[in-house]
Amino acid sequence: MQFIIIFLLISVAYSESSINQFDKQVRYEYNAYVDVLNLKLGEASLSIKKPDNIKGTDVYHLNFSVKTSKLGDTIYKIRNKIDVWINKESFNIVKQYKNISELRKKKTTTTFINGNKGETNGRKYIVNDNVFDPYSLILILSEFDIPINSSKKFNIVDAGKIRELEVKNLGFKTIRTPYGKFSGYTLSPIQNGQRVLKNKGDMEVSYASIDGTLVPIEIIIKLGQGVITLKLKKVLE
């Protein structure tokens, strides 16, 4: 009975979020933890900005940033800022600006996608139709109906690198965050049917309904070395 109630709540949230999730500006703030030690090492944010228009295409503007504290800097220093513009109709990537600083490695890239043509820092290449940005997937994934124990494949491009990503719905679990305790479902990358965080930037995201919107309450991110876990602490509108 409890599962049925949870499922109905998620279904209602899904139908509502697909209509209005990107129509309002909102900022989700997170505490960042070292996964193994559960030690807070910084903060992160995920924002839906004011809608925009790029070369005649109406787009949603999303921003994702992660910054470690002084303590976090001694373990794994991060200063990452990513802006993504996605097509309002298809959620496909139109533009990505990525400023990454992890440990001593720094890299800035600007990517444009137009149909099946891509360009990153002046380098041109061909992409598949219906291509997505991995960071915008944090919010976009909740828009797709992926049943429990089922998966869906996505073509993604990140700073000019193209690959296929398969995501599986692992089902419901109890998740505790600074914002509260939730029963949420988790979408994770898989390989050969098994959950895996293999590639740098791979993310496992857990969602729960907050005021009728499916919100990413926990995000696990693969770094160059190890992983960090982001747990929701604030919702600002």
Grouping H, G, I as helix, E, B as strand and the rest as coil, residue 112 is: strand
Q: What is the pLDDT of residue 81?
A: 97
Mean pLDDT by 10 residues, the chain (237 residues): 38 45 92 83 96 96 97 92 97 97 93 96 94 94 92 95 94 96 95 75 91 94 84 96
Q: What is the pLDDT of residue 58?
A: 97
Q: What is the pLDDT of residue 20?
A: 59
Structural domain tally of the chain? 1
Q: What is the pLDDT of residue 159?
A: 94
Q: What is the pLDDT of residue 24?
A: 87
pTM over the 0.85 mark: yes
Q: What is the pLDDT of residue 201?
A: 72
| Residue in 154, 111, 113, 138 with CA at minimum distance from that of residue 48 | 138
Structural domain span for residue 166: 2-236
Residue 33 CA: distances (Å) to CA of 39, 106, 131, 179, 189: 5, 22, 30, 15, 20
How far is residue 49's CA from residue 62's CA, in Å, rounded to a whole number?
6
Tokens of 92: 């496909």
